[in-house]
Structure 1
Amino acid sequence: MAKFQPIRPMMWTNELKETIAFYVNILGFTCGEYNEEWGWASLYKDNAEIMLAKPNEHTPFDKPTFTGSFYINVDNVEEIWEQLKDKCSLCYEIETFEWGMREFAVYDNNGYLLQFGQEVTI
């Protein structure tokens, strides 16, 4: 049976350079590839990977929309909270939830919702 690999979301943005800067300068990602002609970039940090792209002419695009969030599991959510809480637009502050996750959420420069969580024992 075919094996699934880790998901690498493709996030559309009209502000490609600004979005690369947000993920690199604020979240600590590395830009592995950038192609201005294609309007595309690939970013990574540890085991997390994302791709950024300018929308193409085949798909209508007004502004970023996504009906969910990008959830990133981390091994030290407190450390990441301290690094990001004053640098990002907050959705909700760090909290421990009854389902056993300590997490918080921020918005990137496009308005995409990014959640960071760590499993905890309740």
Structure 2
Amino acid sequence: MIKFTAVRPLLWTENLDDTIGFYTRVLGFELMGRNDGWQWASLRKDEVYIMLSQPNAHEKFDKIGFTGSFYFNVDDVDELWEDLKTKTKICYEIETFDWEMREFAIYDNNGYILQFGQPVDSIGNTE
């Protein structure tokens, strides 16, 4: 049986520098690698990896877009909310939902929805 070990989204952007700036300055990602000839970059924060690229010449491209969102599990969603709520465009404010998750969502500089959540039963635990 083949084991899947990770997923690394490749987000298209029309401006690589702006997108690297958003993820490094606003969200605290580290630039792991960059190739300007390919218009590609790799970013990391803790155990989360994201790649960025200008749209591939082999793909039909009209505009930046994604029919979904990227959901990040974090260990202190309230602290992250306090940090990001005035730095970013908000999709929805922090809330505790019936499915026992406390979460919020923002838009990145390309319009991708980034959701951040934490299970309610882990809030306040100092394990």
What is the Cα deviation at residue 61 of structure 1? 1.8
Deviates more, 1:48-57 or 1:107-116: 48-57
Deviates more, 1:13-22 or 1:58-67: 58-67
Deviation string 1:59-116 (CA, Å, 9 cap, x unpaired) is 1223211111000000100111011000000000000000010000000000000000
What is the Cα deviation at residue 39 of structure 1? 0.5
SS at match of 2:23: helix
What is the Cα deviation at residue 57 of structure 1? 1.4
Tell me the TM-score normalized by structure 1.
Answer: 0.96
In structure 2, the gaps of 5 or more residues are: 122-127
In structure 1, the gaps of 5 or more residues are: none
Q: Residue type of the partner of 2:114?
A: L
**RMSD in angstroms over aligned alpha carbons?**
0.7
Tell me the TM-score normalized by structure 2.
Answer: 0.93
1:13 alignment partner in structure 2 = 13
Q: Number of matched residues?
A: 121
Deviates more, 1:104-113 or 1:49-58: 49-58
SS at match of 1:56: coil
1:117 alignment partner in structure 2 = 117
1:26 alignment partner in structure 2 = 26
SS at match of 2:83: helix
% identical aligned pairs: 60
